[in-house]
Amino acid sequence: KSKKYAKAATKEIKTAGVLGAGIMGGGIAYQSASKGVPAVMKDIKQDALDLGMKEAGKILKKGVERGKVSNDKMIKVLSSITPTLLNDAVKDVDIVVEAVVENPKVKGSVLAEIEGVIGDDAILTSNTSTISITELAKNLKRPQKFCGMHFFNPVHKMPLVEIIRGEKTSDETVNAVVAYALKLGKTPIVVNDCPGFLVNRVLFPYLAGFAGMVDEGVDFVGIDKVMEKQFGWPMGPAYLSDVVGIDTADHCTVVMEDGFPTRMKRDTSSAIAKLAAAERYGQKNGKGFYVYG
Ligand code: NAD
């Protein structure tokens, strides 16, 4: 079905801008560049840009070691990612993927600001995990050119991309973004808008169930072992939370409660909320449920 959307696309994405060079922004910029769509990667912190470039370099180096990537390709991909601290550097791109912190206010102002920088024809998307696209579009002048483009972590490995259609998103925008996702070698699915979309409406109740068990005194290492070894999932919920980022997971629970006040009630004393308050953000800062050396 996604091929049908892509076939109808009238706008080809040749250059991309990515806002945020964190776990997701860095991954999206890498994926775009590696599939021949140069990416300008913007952050507010030089450290984040440096880390984003380093992570891209690591993936490529692994590919070179395994004989899957040539040295020339490695150099080409790295030189097609342009790290920058300036909004102006994305002014000529065909698409922007916003991947800054999961906070509706921050995203709202970042999106509105960048909409004033990019061309009238450019498409704006958000990699938000949970925030309603229709809500985010309320700050925008061209909501028809805005939709969700939700990648999964790690971006270079996970095939799925949710393309979220907001109330005012045009068909033309959806078609072009689906075509771009296919160009990146991904499997796009077009979904309707609601907090959490499809995957996170399933995932967050699961994580809430897990956090509830930890609060009751069940050992999280044991839960991970059961889910991984006996149930057969690639990782258990504690390790998954560390990979996602405890801060991001915690922000998502706030948005999910706003969207589904009774079904997704946030427990501020849950293990995830407590770890976030203690600034144990998971792999990104070396400590979460587990400690990383
Ligand atoms: P992260 O904390 O790793 O990175 C966020 C980055 O945004 C940081 O480098 C920060 O400096 C930067 N930033 C903050 N304000 C900015 C601004 N005004 N302009 C430019 N950069 C700014 O977070 P992440 O895990 O990459 O998550 C980013 C987004 O992707 C969130 O919306 C999150 O919900 C979503 N997401 C995360 C995952 C995941 O597994 N981590 C998966 C899918 C989607």
SS (H, E, C) 220-250: HHHHHHHHHHHCCCCCCHHHHHHHHCHHHHH
Question: Residue 102: CB within 6 Å of ligand 1?
Answer: yes
Question: Residue 127: CB within 6 Å of ligand 1?
Answer: yes
pLDDT of residue 8: 95
> Which residues are CB-neighbours of 232 under 8 A, at least 6 positions away?
none
pLDDT of residue 1: 83
Cα(242)–Cα(34) distance, integer angstroms: 26
Give distance in angstroms: CA of 273 to centre of ligand 1.
Answer: 18
Superfamily of domain 2-192: NAD(P)-binding Rossmann-like Domain (3.40.50.720)
**Catalytic residue of the set 150, 165, 186, 201:** 150
Compute how many other C-beta atoms are within 10 angstroms of the C-beta atom of residue 229: 10
Question: Residue 195: CB within 6 Å of ligand 1?
Answer: no
For the chain, 293 residues long, the average pLDDT of each consecutive 10-residue run is 93 97 98 98 98 97 96 97 98 98 97 98 98 97 98 97 98 98 98 97 95 95 98 97 98 96 91 96 98 94
Question: Residue 18: CB within 6 Å of ligand 1?
Answer: no
Question: Domain residues of the chain, as ranges?
Answer: 2-192, 201-284
**CATH 3.30.1300.10 fits domain 201-284:** no
Closest-CA residue, ligand 1 atom 41, reads 244
Is residue 150 annotated as a catalytic residue, yes or no?
yes
Q: What residue type is assigned to position 113 of the chain?
A: E
Tokens of 271: 């293990």
Closest-CA residue, ligand 1 atom 23, reads 22
Cα(128)–Cα(108) distance, integer angstroms: 11
pLDDT of residue 213: 94
Atom of ligand 1 nearest to the CA of 98: 29
